[in-house]
Amino acid sequence: MTILETINQPADLKTLTSNQLEALADEVRALVLDKVSKVGGHVGPNLGTVELTIALHKVFNSPIDKIVWDVSHQSYPHKILTGRKNGFVDGHFHDITGYTSQHESEHDFFTVGHTSTSIANAMGLAHARDLTGATGNVIAVIGDGSLSGGLAFEALNNAGEFDGNLIVIVNDNEMSIAENHGGLYPHLAKLRESNGTAANNIFTSLGLDYHYIAAGNSIDALITGLESVKDTTKPVVLHIHTEKGHGYAPAVANKEKFHWSAPFELATGLTNPGTPGESYTEMILDYMGEKVDSGMPLVAINAAIPGLMNLKSFAAKYPKNYKDVGIAEQYSITYGQALAAGGARPFIFHNSTFLQRAYDQLSHDLAINEYPAIVIVKGGVINGSDKTHQGSMAIGMISNIPNLVYLAPTSAEELLAMLDWATAQTAQPVVIQLPEHGVEHRSSRLTDFSKPVYDVIENGADVAILGLGGFYNLAEKAAAELEKSGIKASLVNPLFISQLDETALLELAKTHKVIVTLEDGVLDGGFGQKVAGFLGQSDVKVLNFGAKKEFNDSVPVAELYQRYHLTPELIASDVLESL
Ligand SMILES: Cc1ncc(C[n+]2csc(CCOP(=O)(O)OP(=O)(O)O)c2C)c(N)n1
């Protein structure tokens, strides 16, 4: 019998000896590796926290003592030890989510997947505990990378004046997804090098107590350290030095690749290289390279996800024109638009879900000031990801901010035409939402995007389909489906997400019975509703297709497309019904 077979709840590991706990760590690590190698997932973050998780559950009494994981991408060992090991058995991999969830276990308190929230969440729990007369330790576990997010600093600053029990474990593995950036990191290095005794200490300066554990992958050392801070009556930081990917050589050797990995061969760590082909990413990288070569003071900015757009290859060639700002989405926008104010040409790259962090900066800084920064949004689509990583809210979020020219190319040629226009003008900030359904080629009839002009690609009758960005392709397929019923639909490529081409819309309304809008995102406050609102006075019917305003948790995209009628057949049948 393995040790893990005897562990169904954290209480089951309380009586294990030091040797048994070490053996348990090996079993937990093997189980994590088995699952992530088969279905993909976060590898290095989980392998690095196996010992910490075991020590936490040995020393503390979860769920009375509350462990709050930052991002919670490192919570797989915690799930294994808190009654969810079945989710790591083939056939049940998808029974559990990839992050913590209070709906999944009494040992989880929050559904999170974005970084830097744990200290604020722990502060709230700790304050509530004291107000309600409850007991127990509250423990936040935050990575060194996640400390670069402003929210983490805001929470530490508040913790500095908190008078009660709060334990902040800084899990320092010297890595974010990629390398860390910012002045905090040489500082953490000095703390590590001095075994926690360096005179300058950001945590004590903010008013928290501080302890350091060098051997962050030693269960014994961790138990000793955790016992020393257990039941503290004031906020304390326990800074531990761990190794990302610990115990699996390929993940230790290539920490960035194994932060999150698609399925891989366990023996070698090799992943399927995929089929090389055209990509919008490479086109943008080439475009930026040409601009830098021709003397443009361009800066490619990203917030700790260089892999999103393969920006490291650009950085290697143009180090002065590249900036990873750490997990600082807010800063990236304010700083980027100020670069534009100063005459530089920023290209700010964001993943839709993380850009949510920077809503005020998009509005208050970028849009109000109108400097010509360019924001490139990836992942702004209906996706099958976890609840915390839905990309489908980009359109509603960005399209309702004034002053932003928010563009949706449908092809490589349009993307390049938009970039040409955006970099040549200095009047406005521009946001470009990348289409995500493979590279398309369609010549760009527009070269000036300063005023909204729709591209009417096919002239038909009765039905006009407006396929926005990556969904233009779906519009073509829906039109082909309608043709089977004898209807030749007009096809329109709107190009503009937030501004309406009112002339084109009024003309379409005069000449068609039904206008169909297709968008790869939540309908509420989105593109189609703007069209419907504008045409409310006219006789034409407007049918909006897109996602419902709801959080989905790892629902396959195909299922979502069925639910939202985003297939050519379902669109055609809805249109036929409305005629
Ligand atoms: C707001 C936000 N921005 C970006 C990300 C993507 N992301 C996930 S984990 C991570 C790095 C976290 O580094 P660290 O806290 O050191 O944890 P580690 O993975 O090294 O254990 C990033 C940038 C995110 N989840 N949330």
Cα 408 to the center of its chain, rounded Å: 20
Q: Return the exposure string of 240-250: e unless at least 16 CB atoms fall within 10 Å of the residue's CB, then b.
A: bbbbbbbbbeb
Phi, psi (degrees; rounded to nearest 5) at 549: -75, 90
CB of 65 within 8 A of CB of 139?
A: yes
- For ligand 1, the distance from its centroid to the CA atom of residue 168, given in whole angstroms, is 17
Q: With the C-alpha atoms ordered 189, 119, 36, 240, is the resulting torsion angle positive or negative? A: positive
Residue with tokens 């509420």: 524
Answer whether 291 contacts ligand 1 (Cβ < 6 A): no
Answer whether 52 contacts ligand 1 (Cβ < 6 A): no
For the chain, give the mean pLDDT: 97
CA of 430: how far to CAs of 311, 366, 498, 571, in Å? 20, 9, 11, 31
Query: Of all atoms in ligand 1, which is nearest to the CA of residue 73?
Result: 9
CATH number of 23-261, picked from 3.40.50.1820, 3.40.50.300, 3.40.190.10, 3.40.50.970: 3.40.50.970
State the pLDDT at residue 273: 79
State the pLDDT at residue 275: 74
Query: Of all atoms in ligand 1, which is nearest to the CA of residue 115?
Result: 26
Query: Of all atoms in ligand 1, which is nearest to the CA of residue 144?
Result: 16
The predicted-structure confidence for 494-517, as pLDDT tens digits, reads as follows: 999 999 999 999 999 999 999 999
Query: Of 136, 115, 235, 566, nearest to 381 (Cα)?
Result: 566
Ligand 1 pocket, mutate which of 144, 171, 259 (most atoms under 8 A from CB): 259
- For ligand 1, the distance from its centroid to the CA atom of residue 71, given in whole angstroms, is 7
Answer whether 350 contacts ligand 1 (Cβ < 6 A): no
Answer whether 292 contacts ligand 1 (Cβ < 6 A): no
Which residue has the CA at smallest separation from atom 25 of ligand 1? 114
Query: Of 195, 198, 120, nearest to 159 (Cα)?
Result: 120
Residues of the chain with confidence (pLDDT) below 70: none
CATH number of 455-578, picked from 2.40.10.10, 3.90.1640.30, 3.40.50.1980, 3.40.50.920: 3.40.50.920
Burial class from Cβ neighbours inside 10 Å (0-12, 13-18, 19+) for residue 215 reads middle
Answer whether 196 contacts ligand 1 (Cβ < 6 A): no
The predicted-structure confidence for 297-344, as pLDDT tens digits, reads as follows: 999 999 999 999 999 999 999 999 999 999 999 999 999 999 999 999
Query: Of all atoms in ligand 1, which is nearest to the CA of residue 74?
Result: 21
Cβ within 8 Å of residue 102, ≥6 positions away: 108, 109, 110, 111
**3-class state of residue 28 by DSSP:** helix
Cβ within 8 Å of residue 516, ≥6 positions away: 463, 464, 465, 466, 475, 478, 489, 542, 543, 545, 571, 575
Cα 150 to the center of its chain, rounded Å: 16
Between helices 412-424 and 280-293, what is the axis angle to 10°? 30
Which tokens hold the place of 67? Answer: 């462990």
Residue with tokens 């709906």: 103
Which residue has the CA at smallest separation from atom 24 of ligand 1? 114
Long-range contacts of 121-128 (CB under 8 A, 24+ apart): 121/68, 122/66, 122/68, 122/155, 122/166, 122/168, 123/155, 123/158, 123/159, 123/162, 123/166, 125/66, 125/68, 126/162, 126/164, 126/165, 126/166, 127/162, 127/164
- For ligand 1, the distance from its centroid to the CA atom of residue 177, given in whole angstroms, is 6
Q: With the C-alpha atoms ordered 224, 227, 232, 234, is the resulting torsion angle positive or negative? A: positive
- For ligand 1, the distance from its centroid to the CA atom of residue 176, given in whole angstroms, is 6
**Is 0.90 exceeded by the ipTM?**
yes
Beta partners for 351? Answer: 378
- For ligand 1, the distance from its centroid to the CA atom of residue 571, given in whole angstroms, is 38
In the chain, CATH 3.40.50.920 covers 455-578
Query: Of 198, 171, 196, 175, nearest to 185 (Cα)?
Result: 175
Which residue has the CA at smallest separation from atom 22 of ligand 1? 177
CB of 165 within 8 A of CB of 231?
A: yes
State the pLDDT at residue 272: 84
Ligand 1 pocket, mutate which of 71, 308, 389 (most atoms under 8 A from CB): 71
- For ligand 1, the distance from its centroid to the CA atom of residue 72, given in whole angstroms, is 9
Instruction: Write out the H or E segment, with its range, that includes residue 352.
Output: helix 352-355
Answer whether 43 contacts ligand 1 (Cβ < 6 A): no
Answer whether 98 contacts ligand 1 (Cβ < 6 A): no
- For ligand 1, the distance from its centroid to the CA atom of residue 42, given in whole angstroms, is 11
Q: What is the CA radius of gyration of the chain?
A: 26
Query: Of 244, 557, 541, 520, nearest to 384 (Cα)?
Result: 557
Answer whether 176 contacts ligand 1 (Cβ < 6 A): yes
CATH code of 280-433, in short, is 3.40.50.970
Phi, psi (degrees; rounded to nearest 5) at 336: -65, -45
In the chain, CATH 3.40.50.970 covers 23-261, 280-433
Query: Of 520, 532, 516, nearest to 578 (Cα)?
Result: 516
- Note the helical H segments in 84-218: 118-132, 150-159, 184-193, 202-205
Q: 374-378 and 345-351 as β-strands: parallel, antiparallel, unpaired? A: parallel
Q: What is the dihedral of CA 311, 314, 316, 317, to 10 degrees?
A: 180
Answer whether 114 contacts ligand 1 (Cβ < 6 A): yes
Which tokens hold the place of 489? Answer: 């639909």
